[in-house]
Structure 1
Amino acid sequence: MINVRLIKTSDRLYPLEQELRNKILLRPVGIPDHAWEMHDEKSWHFVAVEAGQVLGCVVLVPLDGPEMKGQLIQMAVDGTQQGKGVGKLLVKELFAFCELEGIHEVVCHARDSAVPFYRSLGFEAYGEPFEEVGIKHMHMRIVL
């Protein structure tokens, strides 16, 4: 059974989360391992775990300001688990956490291929498409 856990960077599962992010998000586009960890210490990390293995992860970065917003980044699901609901499970847990913490809006930079996934969870696209790490992205947000 898959469980979603909120972890810190000191957790024994954090290196497994890092490896998944590197494998799924960074290496395929030629970005060095660990290149997107600049916010990790101040962020909340959600991992989907089964039998001690990290199958998926998502990071929520608190955004400065009075709006109580967060940015969803580094969403990754192991290739063998994609399309099986792991990503939705992670984001729903992230939303439940936001409601408890008083975070009212979540934004993200969605890869073009992931826009339908985020739309299915209630996110709306805004602004113009842009390129990040050589890939077309959209700004997306949801007000909780």
Structure 2
Amino acid sequence: MIRIKNINTHSPYYQEMRELRNKVLLRPLGIPDHSWEMHDERSWHFVALENDNVIGCAVLVPSEEHKTLAQLIQMAVDPDVQGKGIGQLLLKEIITFAKSKSLKEIQCHSRHYAVDFYKKADFTTYGETFTEVGIPHNHMKLELH
């Protein structure tokens, strides 16, 4: 059974989460390990666990300027289990958590090929396509009610 857990940087799962982020998101692009951890200390971290192994993760970074806004970053699912709904389970838990914190909006920079994944969770695109880390991305947001 897969379970989603909200953790912090002191959790034993945090190191596994860091490794998954490096493996899935950074190394394939030649980006140095751990280079997207600048907000980790002040962020909320979510992991998908199967048999106590981290198989998915995401980071929700609260906005310092707008208290009702957060940015979803570093969402990754182990390639061996992609396409099995784990990312959607993570998103569902993150959305529930965001609502419990009285957030009104979640934003993300979606890699172009992942736009439909976020649309399934009712995210919408806005603005122009842009390039980040050498890959086309779209601005996306989910307004919470």
TM-score for the superposition, normalised by structure 1: 0.98
1:71 match: 71
The whole-number CA distance in structure 1 between the counterparts of 2:4 and 2:25 is: 20
2:127 match: 127
The whole-number CA distance in structure 2 between the counterparts of 1:143 and 1:67 is: 14
The whole-number CA distance in structure 2 between the counterparts of 1:6 and 1:25 is: 20
- Once the two structures are TM-superposed, the CA of residue 50 in structure 1 deviates from its matched residue by 1.0
Identity within the alignment, %: 54
Q: Give the stretch that moved more between structures: 37-46 or 59-68.
A: 59-68
2:112 match: 112
Equivalent residue letter for 2:70: G
Equivalent residue letter for 2:140: M
Unaligned runs of 5+ in 1: none
2:45 match: 45
The whole-number CA distance in structure 2 between the counterparts of 1:101 and 1:67 is: 10
- Once the two structures are TM-superposed, the CA of residue 67 in structure 1 deviates from its matched residue by 5.0
Q: Aligned pair count?
A: 144
Q: Does 1:9 align with 2:16?
A: no
SS at match of 2:12: coil
SS at match of 2:80: coil
TM-score for the superposition, normalised by structure 2: 0.98
Equivalent residue letter for 2:5: R
